Amino acid sequence: MYLLQRLEDDPEVQLIEVAKEEEAIGIAAGAYFAGERHLLLMQNHGFLAAINGIVSLAQLYSVPLCMLIALRGHWGEPYPWHTKGGIVTEEVLRALKIPFEYARDPAKVGQQIREAYTFAQSSLSPVALLLTRDLMED
């Protein structure tokens, strides 16, 4: 089952779907100012499209962001169009000084998300959990 479908069906989650990922950085900042928790879900190409918002809103104003980033274009990727973005994602995260971890084990990903959220809040910084192909259902 798709994660988005599960989020839509969860009464404890308000799912806000955007036209482009950078909007979600602003919406998450608004939710943060409002005192609410947030998780951002995007693909790594969406992360690349959202960089100005991450740098010039979240980092500039010390707003925590907990980003779950589906990592395409990495080991095992069959589609050529994902590969260029996939190859540069880790280097871009490092250049932006965004702490990140890889999530590879479905049994551990829940704990990793909680830890990512905690670290975003304590560091007042964007953090990223890279969701690898190992987590994907067939």
Q: Please give the span between the terminal C-alpha atoms of the chain, in angstroms, as a whole number.
A: 10
Which of 29, 65, 68, 70: binder of other proteins (CB under 8 A)? Answer: 29
Of 68 and 131, the one with the shorter C-beta distance to other proteins is 68
Q: Does 22 bind other proteins (CB under 8 A)?
A: yes
- Choices 16-24, 67-75, 78-86, 103-111 (CB under 8 A): range interacting with other proteins: 16-24
Of 53 and 85, the one with the shorter C-beta distance to other proteins is 53
| Beta bridge partners of residue 100, listed in sequence order | 128
Handedness of CA 43, 126, 23, 49 (dihedral sign): negative
Which of 16, 87, 95, 136: binder of other proteins (CB under 8 A)? Answer: 16
Can you spell out the DSSP letters for 29-94?
Answer: HHHHHTT----EEEEHHHHHHTHHHIIIIIIHHT--EEEEEE--SSTT---HHHHHHHHHHHHHHH
Q: Which of 96, 57, 92, 95 is nearest to 71 (CA)?
A: 92
Q: Does 56 bind other proteins (CB under 8 A)?
A: yes
Which of 41, 42, 57, 116: binder of other proteins (CB under 8 A)? Answer: 57
Site of interaction with other proteins (CB under 8 A):
14, 16-20, 22-36, 52-53, 56-57, 60-63
